[in-house]
């Protein structure tokens, strides 16, 4: 059944492509016939006018698209940063005083943060948050704080990347050393 649907989709897709190609060819041949009968003095002016129009339309369309994309990215970043700051504040509190949070408070924070990150986090941040949580839960890794801290650093780097930082000069351990020295 799936094989037949794939063949039908392929045939429909090919028919659409052939239709577009035929329409494009027909348009070009019609334009060629229309312009071939004009005096040669008019052709450069017409080509210039058409080219100017096409470039103007493309420039405006692309500009509006990019502007809308930048606005959406800015609004998303404004929503993400407070969520990410909550995690960083929570982690700093735990690093400063490991006994400042009860297990219930930590679980409540994790649940609340997970809800927020599902809405506002990028795919990469969600994946890294899941990796961090899964490694933190495993008994083998839970006994080795280096593994958990390395995953935390990966999460922090992913968060930085999500809010627009390049992270290109940050070597492994840099963020973690800042985090632990504070």
Under 8 Å between Cβ of 132 and 151: yes
Under 8 Å between Cβ of 116 and 90: no
The mean pLDDT of 36-49, rounded to a whole number, is 82
pLDDT at 182 over 50: no
Q: Which residues, including other chains, have CB under 8 Å from residue 173's CB and lie 6 or more apart? A: 153
Sign of the alpha-carbon torsion through 150, 156, 159, 160: negative
Residues 159/163/169/174 CA torsion (nearest 10 deg): -40
C-alpha gyration radius of the chain:
28
pLDDT at 139 over 80: no
Say how far apart CA 98 and CA 57 lie, in whole Å. 60
Say how far apart CA 121 and CA 159 lie, in whole Å. 8
Say how far apart CA 79 and CA 162 lie, in whole Å. 12
* Winning range, highest mean pLDDT, from 33-37, 47-51, 99-103, 155-159: 155-159
Report pLDDT digits (tens) over 48-76: 988 999 999 999 999 999 999 999 989 99
Q: Which residues, including other chains, have CB under 8 Å from residue 100's CB and lie 6 or more apart? A: 93, 94
Q: pTM of the predicted model, to two decimals?
A: 0.67
Residue 182 DSSP code: -
What is the pLDDT at residue 94? 85
């Amino acid at each position: 059944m799936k094989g037949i649907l794939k063949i039908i989709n392929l045939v429909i897709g090919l028919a659409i492509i052939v239709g577009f190609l035929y329409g494009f060819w027909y348009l070009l041949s019609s334009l060629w016939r229309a312009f071939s009968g004009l005096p040669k003095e008019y052709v450069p002016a017409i080509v210039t006018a058409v080219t100017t129009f096409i470039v103007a339309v493309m420039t405006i369309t692309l500009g509006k698209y990019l502007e809308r994309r930048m606005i959406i990215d800015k609004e998303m970043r404004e929503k993400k940063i407070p969520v990410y700051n909550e995690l960083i504040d929570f982690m700093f509190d735990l690093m400063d005083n490991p006994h400042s949070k009860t297990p219930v408070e930590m679980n409540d924070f994790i649940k609340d943060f997970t809800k927020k990150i599902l809405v506002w986090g990028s795919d990469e941040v969600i994946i890294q948050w899941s990796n961090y949580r899964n490694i933190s839960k495993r008994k083998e890794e839970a006994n080795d704080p280096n593994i958990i801290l390395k995953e935390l650093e990966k999460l922090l780097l992913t968060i930085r990347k999500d809010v627009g930082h390049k992270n290109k000069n940050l070597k492994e351990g840099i963020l973690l050393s800042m985090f632990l020295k504070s």
